[in-house]
Amino acid sequence: MSILLASTDFWEDMEVWRSGLEEAMPEMDINVYPDEKDVNDVEYAVVWKHPRGILKKYPNLKAILSLGAGVDHVISDPDLPLGLPIVRLVDKKLTHEMILHSLHWVLHFHSDQYLYRIQQQSSEWIQQSSIQSEDRTIGIMGLGNIGKAIGNSLVNLDFKVIGWGARPKESLGSIEYYCGHEQLADFLSQTHILINVLPLTDNTKNILTKNELTFLPQGSFIINIGRGGIINENDLINFLDSGHIKAAALDVFEQEPLPENNSLWIHPSVYITPHIAGQSNPLSAAKTIAENIRLIQNGEAPYPIYSLDSGY
């Protein structure tokens, strides 16, 4: 039995990932693509943006596990073997990073830091009126493990938090939940700061265009840490230009790396980070991946298995 590590993005970290998995699963042979030795021995593929088509080479593959929270890099492979569980990475350190990233931008916008920065450039001393956190509604699209963790952190800071997802969910405690396209407008119309944590699927691509963005209140904010392609970038720019959306913190984009000639780079109301909101920690994540592999070996279901339109 062996585990295959495959990535076109993490090559400089592959030895760290290998070491982490070897420590977590000393009984397994860990190979880094393309040095897989015997293709018949490979039972688990642990991947991030793997070379297209390679997974069909392994006849005894039992599961595909992602090195990150997203799996769009897996399901977009046209030669993906059918019928295998695809396991997302839900690791406490990755989740913690995404919470911190979200809190940073929520507080930045909530406390008018974006505006004070503009005032500083003009040497303006203007004190803005304070808004209490309980009077600010944070809307989260995608109430999976990460979305719920972000929401609970904001609830603990006395923000009002609401959520939206494609399907009904069980009780989310203090988070009021909306679901389905028929409730999207109601959700958006109450949202002062929108956090997107949705994965990119056929059903979520371009789910926020000018038609949906219109429902956001005047002067709202957007934080996108899910995937690019969910928010139509041209429509977003138009809403930023008009001031309907006051500012946006974007960590993910339709095309990555973001092209140098993309107008988002120089837009005065846009804050750009290079897809770093939730970076996987190899040592911590290796333990989580090992736990899921052992569940599969014991005939149990790994967690969480990818399902269409689930939030991160």
3-state helix, strand, coil in the chain (%, to 5): 35, 20, 45
pLDDT at 227: 94
The more confidently predicted of residues 202 and 261 is 261
Sequence ranges of the domains in the chain: 2-91+280-297, 92-272
The more confidently predicted of residues 15 and 273 is 273
Does pLDDT of 255 surpass 90?
yes
Asked if the domains at 2-91+280-297 and 92-272 fall in one CATH topology, the answer is: yes
CATH T-level topology, domain 2-91+280-297:
Rossmann fold (3.40.50)
Taking a C-beta distance cutoff of 8 angstroms, is the pair 142, 197 a contact? yes
Query: CATH homologous superfamily of domain 92-272?
Result: NAD(P)-binding Rossmann-like Domain (3.40.50.720)
Q: Classify residue 289 as exposed, middle or buried by CB count within 10 Å of its CB (0-12, 13-18, 19+).
A: buried
Q: Is the pTM of this model over 0.85?
A: yes
Tell me the catalytic residues. Answer: 227, 275
pLDDT at 257: 95
Of these ranges, 65-74, 199-208, 214-223, the one predicted with the greatest mean pLDDT is 214-223
Matching residue, tokens 């760290």: 16
pLDDT at 307: 73
Does pLDDT of 273 surpass 80?
yes
Tokens of 43: 């039972």
Return d(Cα 175, Cα 183) in angstroms, integer. Answer: 15
Return d(Cα 191, Cα 178) in angstroms, integer. Answer: 12
Tokens of 300: 């149990």
The length of the chain is: 312
